[in-house]
Amino acid sequence: MVQAFRHAAALAVFVELCAIGSVFPALADEPAQIVPRRSSRAAAAAGLETQTVLRVDSSLVLIPVHVTTPYGSSVTDLKKEDFTLFEDGVQQTITHFAQDDAPVSVGLLLDMSGSMRNKMATVCEAATEIFKFANPDDEFFLVEFNGRAKLKIPFTQDWQEISSEIARAKPFGLTALLDAIHLAVAQMKHARNMRKAIFVLSDGGDNHSRRNLLQLRDALVESDAQVYAMGIFDADSSKRSTEERNGPRLLNEVALETGGRDFPIHTGSELDNIGVQLARQLRNQYILGYSPTNAVSDGKYRRVSLKLAIPSAESSVRTYYRRGYYAPIQ
């Protein structure tokens, strides 16, 4: 009870810093104190039941899968036999199956462009929801972007540093969203954890990237990172620029290709529910592993599809998973 109270209080401090920083930036220098939840190692030490983290060699293809009801609740009681995987239409044998709360390497992408000027309080609340459900063994990095993308904080487990930087954000300029995601993908090469996720806090408008969406798709597939977009939009669509009006489509397209999801935010009241959904999707995943029947190292894209062997699966559940990968080159 005491630990939960301290956690809630620490997150409240972060939100307050965000609000102060948007009006009095000079007063936002004190870092927020964020206390993460119990780690898997700590739980094991306390005698709590934990599940084994999957560790496999590079010849295995890993497909993270999240299954929900039509209303968004996670389906957590499925077995290996309930899944059937196909690669380029050929059924594969699932040799590894796990469902656990493994550590995640997370990249936070913070939109600092001028269109975000009146949305920073919502951004801070969205970041709070991400931190609230994080594992202490997770690692984070922060990329800020406006007309150019910049790695502001490399991988760290120091949440105070990340939260303090977000609270001091001062939006201005144009938007290079696709360039920011490319930079995040490059940073993911230094990740320590098998599972990787990129969180985009943005209105989705892009008007200054040097790279295009096709190049971004290839980079994302190769990175093995799932994209979760928290699109922060004006409720009144007439106030949006052309880039902002295209934002929801762009964010949704990027997220779904990687097995992630887009969570559009129009009001702060939606954040609690969205935070819970994000936590469920990131933490309640099945990890399916298989050795491809096509062992040719030709560097070509292999398309993955999945079916569930449960009655009326198409109407009763929804699945989110990686749609493919690039084969290695010999």
Domain segments of the chain as ranges? 2-36+102-283, 61-101+285-326
pLDDT-derived band at 36 (thresholds 50, 70, 90) equals very low
| Two tokens, residue 318 | 């929804």
User: What pLDDT, on the 0 to 100 scale, is given for residue 198?
Assistant: 94
Largest distance between two CA atoms of the chain: 60
State how far the alpha carbon of 295 is from the alpha carbons of 56, 94, 292, 301, in Å: 17, 16, 6, 13
- Contact between 147 and 208 under an 8 Å Cβ cutoff? The reply is yes
Q: Closest Cα to residue 100, out of 40, 41, 45? A: 40
CA angle 207, 201, 281 (to 5 degrees): 130
pLDDT-derived band at 318 (thresholds 50, 70, 90) equals confident
Lowest mean pLDDT among 14-28, 60-74, 201-215, 246-260: 14-28
**2-36+102-283 under CATH 3.30.43.10, yes or no:** no
Q: Which residue has the higher pLDDT, 50 or 214?
A: 214
Q: Which amino acid is at 268?
A: G
Q: Which residue has the higher pLDDT, 277 or 46?
A: 277
CA 55/CA 62 separation, integer angstroms: 10
Q: Strand 104-111 vs strand 139-145: parallel, antiparallel, or unpaired?
A: parallel
| Two tokens, residue 52 | 């084994």
Find where tokens 């220098």 sit. Answer: 29
User: What pLDDT, on the 0 to 100 scale, is given for residue 181?
Assistant: 93
Mean pLDDT of the chain: 78
| pLDDT (tens digit per residue) in 155-183 | 999 877 888 898 888 999 999 999 999 99
User: What pLDDT, on the 0 to 100 scale, is given for residue 267?
Assistant: 74
